[in-house]
Amino acid sequence: MKLALLQRAAPLLGLVAAACSPLSAFNSVMPKDAGGKLTAAGLAYGEGPRRRLDVYVPRKIGDSPHFLRPVIVFFYGGSWNSGDRRGYSFVGRALAARGFVTVIPDYRLVPEVTYPGFVEDGAAAVRWVRAHAKDYGGDGERIVLAGHSAGAYIAAMLAVDTRWLGADRKAVRGLAGLAGPYDFVPFTVGASQAAFGRWPDAAETQPVTHADATAPPALLLTGAGDTTVKPRNSEALAAKLRAAGVSAEVKRYPDVAHIGILTAIAKPFRGKAPVVADVATFAERVTQ
């Protein structure tokens, strides 16, 4: 059965690597973690169809929680111009199975918005989580922001830049970024030009510009074979945080590329890189 799933998924991996798709087809054939379940879908955190989120909870506390669990808010990638939360249930269930209430929001995309529209939506989603997490067994005062690629950028901006969350930022206990672009000026590719090119101050859009002593601890995961968002992005943000006295760990997985670091969250591919275990261990530590 596992071999058959891997064979079915192989051509899908090629497609998502080429197109950075929302992984809907990949998600549909992946076995899901039984320890996590989707408990609420399409909840509105703002106006419009792109301001919706899904909530996954650990099965063992999902029906009658006796204590509140830490929360992970996961932002998916897609070059700020594609993606759908429903293609990431394999991520939500995997993290929920590790004991976290996990929230996956949609956010507005290019060309409907450019920077900072998608960051503003991310902030609105986190504020919703802080206010409503308890309704799903989550502790809104213990939030870890996570994401992949463009989603890791959103998570990082919310974590290190005080403008977006304001007082709600105190609930953010950590940042877990997967293959995130944190230091990518000048804008030399079409996706970043479309998303950021009209902003008058390019440096102002970069997480490395804002990282200071007020930022939460960070775990920055990257693939040694990532040529889309190169590992130097993680190294640059980590260096800035460490210089400010903030704990920042970089883990570079050998033989893993940009999409592979995400698909390693799926059960059949966890042997490629311990992404789920590393994120869960970090989130457990910073939310104690």
pLDDT score of 61: 64
Cα(153)–Cα(56) distance, integer angstroms: 22
Per the structure, how many domains does the chain have? Answer: 1
Residue 197 has pLDDT above 80, yes or no: yes
Computed from CA positions of residues 134, 138, 139, 143, in that sequence, does the dihedral angle turn out positive or negative? negative
Summarised one tens digit per residue, pLDDT across range 136-179 is 999 999 999 999 999 999 999 999 999 999 999 999 999 999 99
Q: What CATH code is carried by the domain that includes residue 180?
A: 3.40.50.1820
Strand-pairing partners, residue 192, are: none
Is the pLDDT higher at 245 or at 15? 245
- Backbone φ, ψ for residue 186 (5° rounding): -80, 160
pTM, to two decimals: 0.92
Instruction: Give the residue numbers spanning the domain of 281.
Output: 2-286
What would the two tokens of residue 30 be?
Answer: 């992946």
Q: Which residue has the higher pLDDT, 42 or 24?
A: 42
Is the pLDDT at 231 greater than 80, yes or no?
yes
The mean pLDDT of the chain is 92
Per-residue confidence at 89, pLDDT binned at 50, 70, 90?
very high
Give the pLDDT of residue 67. 87
